[in-house]
Amino acid sequence: MGIKNYINTVRYYLKKEETEESSILELADNPDDTETFTSPSTGMQFVLIPAGEFEMGSPFEEKDRSAFESPVHKVKINTSFYLGKSTVTQKQWEKIMGNNPSHFKGENRPVEMVAWKDAQEFITKLNEKEETDKCRLPSEAEWEYSCRAGTQTKYFFGEDESKLDEYVWHAGNSGDKTHVIGCKKPNPWGLYDINGNVWEWVQDEWHENYNGAPADGSAWEDGNISNRVSRGCSWICDTGYCHSAGRFKRKTESRLANLGFRLLREL
């Protein structure tokens, strides 16, 4: 091999190794674009989610569904909002909390090993730092509405499970670890890792089904504070969990290496 070919080969592999670590830079937005918002204290990027309505849950004929996802019911989101383009990263967490509880270290990987109450503490401190009260966890309905991005198919990219690897980190392709945000394709509304990588806390208390669920997109909280909802599947999940309607029960105090959160910012 000539010296020129050798140098080109080395450059190729160096670039390949750097691709994942630098992928966060590809999420950069236009500061003058009203369709996005960037947190001044953390650099966290948000995308505008338009108001609308959708059918929440999964139909009985959908493969891999569970009874927890029934009944399908119409939800109307009356007000637009911003949602984080990704889950909260370790770098963003450290800027507010001054520590990093994550098992899989990496500043642009999702923060994990955070309980529901830890996420609430982060939100309180972030709001105080930015002198606002607009940041919070999304409701379960707001989360699914954003994940579906105007679709009613099993996945936000359609029904073809063979395309899952293009969008989702799951047990079959993750290498048993989390990954830097933005390495997979986003959903149609520009949200990265809305399925896969880590499960995401939402505001709602857990209910075994959707009987009696709010129809206005608000969080369902009626006193059952021992369990909360997580959405989105993770790096350790079989593909059967990775559909738009998938949901899972968590103890409020759960701290797991496959569980993080994404923020909503009200307009």
Which two three-digit tokens encode residue 44? 């966290």
pLDDT surpasses 70 at 12: no
Which two three-digit tokens encode residue 42? 């953390």
Mean pLDDT of 192-220: 97
pTM of the model as a whole = 0.89
Q: What percent of the chain stands above pLDDT 70?
A: 87
d(CA 203, CA 119): 10
Domain boundaries of the chain, sorted by first residue: 35-266
Q: Which fold has domain 35-266?
A: paralog of FGE (formylglycine-generating enzyme) (3.90.1580)
d(CA 111, CA 252): 17
- The pLDDT tens digits of the residues spanning 58-84 come to 999 999 999 999 999 999 999 999 999
- The pLDDT tens digits of the residues spanning 97-140 come to 999 999 999 999 999 999 999 999 999 999 999 999 999 999 99
pLDDT surpasses 70 at 13: no
